Structure 1
């Protein structure tokens, strides 16, 4: 039977935390739930203590200095504290569904599989949050990939290098991975990214580890949409969006440059990184840089971010 550590980073999630924990604690496969509290300003710490006192499966940790370090560092601490053979993640304002580990029970019988990912759904908790989400993501009932895949096809799909559209994202709430695989490749979240730590982690994970899709046509977890979801507040191709995308792709570019990976993959990451680098420039300098880069790398004009240059 699987023995799973569920890592829940906690920051100002007092309204939702108990539901998240209760959705995970009852699974026979769940060995422990690791709450990592990140200096919340609401009553989250008190709720964490109450939950941990009430169930031996639930363990509470804070950063050594008890300060706020962000989601990336908080998940990293959870990985360090995990004792299960498998690791999953759950955001404190989300929750698992009863089928959460159905695919894992069968797929992980194959020892070559390092990780399994499935689909998640959405629940609108506030009207404002709903409108912000629909403005950015339209009416997407599932966050999922478009077809079953495994191995290198997953990595290629996340970089948009497959002949048909794979989908550029799967959510941490629906990822289960062997802890030994994470430790073998020293995979951790980039603490310098305030957003997109999950996408950055997933792409690196997909390169180093053998991932396989699980249940992709129905949700295994639910993401709560409310007023405080940070990712929905960023307007696409706004200066803030461009800056955060630049930092994200710069992280991947630095990683790709340090790895002995095929040139095709390095180039794909570079083009995305460079497109957002160019978007930071202004005026005549911006257009001169676009011309120079276009002459050196004509493929940059084919990236899905190409129209970003002119905004």
Structure 2
């Protein structure tokens, strides 16, 4: 295996060295691609030092040296990757020694194009633990049961009850399988672009479970992590998720392989978050409007707890 590990770097001077060195422990890791995204801290200098110190580390920036977000940075990393397999790692996270144990076995089968595993949690400070432990605990938050690859897409969409998620840190993909996607990460999404990417990926290729009962990578929780602030509602999650589901809904409209009941579910999710962020005086107007223009999604939404909770 020749694995290219892609690490977008933004405001991560405290953590990126640990991330890089956690990936260097594997002989299968052919290269580590750092995409520095105009960090306001000293991350660029740290990346330069890592690039100089380790032969397998390669440092890139966007052509204009500007800030383009994690999605665009990962896209650049995919473009520059020379390995046969792609793995991802956030700059404030790190791999565990068993990260590629399952992959080394499973990818011997040429039909397997993607493998995912379990993600653990580490709190970088007592403040982070005090603030966020009630949300993340010390548990595995990823997919925890083995599922047939054909069920992953609808499971991740939330159509199969409690399912868990696939985190990018635990995902390994054959690079040539990415050619089935119409695009890689959506630049229009500053948050949740990884979720949207995995939705589309799970429809286009078969994703197989690796190690699910113990962590293969660790998510670092700290006070400055933007997605942590969303998940703990310090940033209104509906505000960011309406953009996610709008993007997914636009894609699903033109995707002929998606069944109609799944498209309806996606529309309902988009409508629920769209209504959630509307001011109170506008909510009923939107419901009435959609009763005429999208009756099916509103009618089915009234039977869905997530939808009802977002009404008022």
TM class, shorter-length: over 0.9
Equivalent residue for 2:300?
A: 299
Contact 2:114/2:207, CA 8 A, preserved across alignment: yes
Rounded to whole Å, the distance in 2 between the matches of 1:96 and 1:138 is 18
Equivalent residue for 2:54?
A: 55
* Distance of aligned partners of 1:20 and 1:239 in 2 relative to their CA distance in 1, 3 Å threshold: closer
Q: 1:181 aligns with which of 172, 177, 180?
A: 177
Give RMSD over aligned pairs. Answer: 1.9
Contact 1:6/1:33, CA 8 A, preserved across alignment: yes
Work out whether 1:18 is the aligned partner of 2:14: no
Q: 1:290 aligns with which of 282, 287, 290?
A: 287
Q: 1:280 aligns with which of 273, 277, 280?
A: 277
Rounded to whole Å, the distance in 2 between the matches of 1:186 and 1:310 is 34
Work out whether 1:152 is the aligned partner of 2:150: yes
Rounded to whole Å, the distance in 2 between the matches of 1:238 and 1:39 is 25
Rounded to whole Å, the distance in 1 between the matches of 2:36 and 2:133 is 30
* Distance of aligned partners of 1:26 and 1:148 in 2 relative to their CA distance in 1, 3 Å threshold: same
How many corresponding residue pairs?
307
Question: Following TM superposition, where does structure 1 have runs of at least 4 consecutive aligned residues deviating by more than 4 angstroms?
Answer: 235-239
Rounded to whole Å, the distance in 2 between the matches of 1:196 and 1:171 is 11
Three-state SS of the structure 2 residue aligned to 1:142 is coil
* Distance of aligned partners of 1:105 and 1:235 in 2 relative to their CA distance in 1, 3 Å threshold: closer
Rounded to whole Å, the distance in 2 between the matches of 1:269 and 1:232 is 24
Q: Deviations over 1:266-301 (max 9, x none)?
A: 111111001111223233431243355468222112
Could you state the TM-score of these two structures normalised by the residue count of structure 1?
0.93
Q: What does residue range 89-128 of structure 1 map to in structure 2 within 5 Å?
A: 89-128=88-127
Q: Deviations over 1:219-242 (max 9, x none)?
A: 001111111111222376788322
Three-state SS of the structure 2 residue aligned to 1:143 is coil
In structure 2, list runs of 5 or more residues that go unmatched: none
Q: 1:209 aligns with which of 205, 224, 229?
A: 205
Could you state the TM-score of these two structures normalised by the residue count of structure 2?
0.92
* Distance of aligned partners of 1:294 and 1:132 in 2 relative to their CA distance in 1, 3 Å threshold: farther
Deviation at 1:109, TM superposition (A): 1.6
Deviation at 1:207, TM superposition (A): 0.6
Deviation at 1:40, TM superposition (A): 1.0
Rounded to whole Å, the distance in 2 between the matches of 1:289 and 1:238 is 26
